[in-house]
Amino acid sequence: MIYEKEVYHFLVLHFPIALFVTGYLFDVAGYGFSNSLYSKFSFWNTGMGIFWGIISITTGFITDQEIGHMDNPLPIWSTHGTHMIFGVFFFLSIFIMKILIQKDKLSIPPQIIIILHTLAILFFMHGAHIGAKLAGIHI
């Protein structure tokens, strides 16, 4: 391999963070301005964040072979890998809810979606912070 294993994780991990945060901001803007275009941007950013999140989790498992962080995956609040897996599933559940709402198969007020999206972004950012500490970055 040309680079150390963790370099690939470090390169990929920024994509889901940026996409989830941008998707959240578009969701808030779409709700605040009642603009469906912002909601579409949120939808696609969240979808791409899920895609890159899965790639980031995969590269994280490859990196963890040397660290052994996931040898004890619990508790979720202090284990970066488990935290991020649940975070991506949290966004995936919101994404699925949005698909079902678009197809008129689910009726949830937009305020609930914003609240769930806020909780998901807070949970995800906490997991990213744990990962930064694990990598030796002190914020």
Q: What is the Cα–Cα distance from 83 to 90, expressed in whole angstroms?
A: 10
Task: At 119, list the tokens.
Answer: 């909780």
**Are 49 and 16 contacting, i.e. CB atoms less than 8 angstroms apart?**
yes
| pLDDT single digits (tens) 32-84 | 888 789 999 999 999 999 999 999 999 988 887 777 667 777 777 778 889 99
* Domain spans, the chain: 5-134
In angstroms and rounded to an integer, the radius of gyration of the C-alpha atoms of the chain is 16
Residue 98 above 80 pLDDT? yes
Residue at token pair 């949830």 = 108
pTM above 0.85, yes or no: yes
Q: What is the Cα–Cα distance from 17 to 23, expressed in whole angstroms?
A: 10
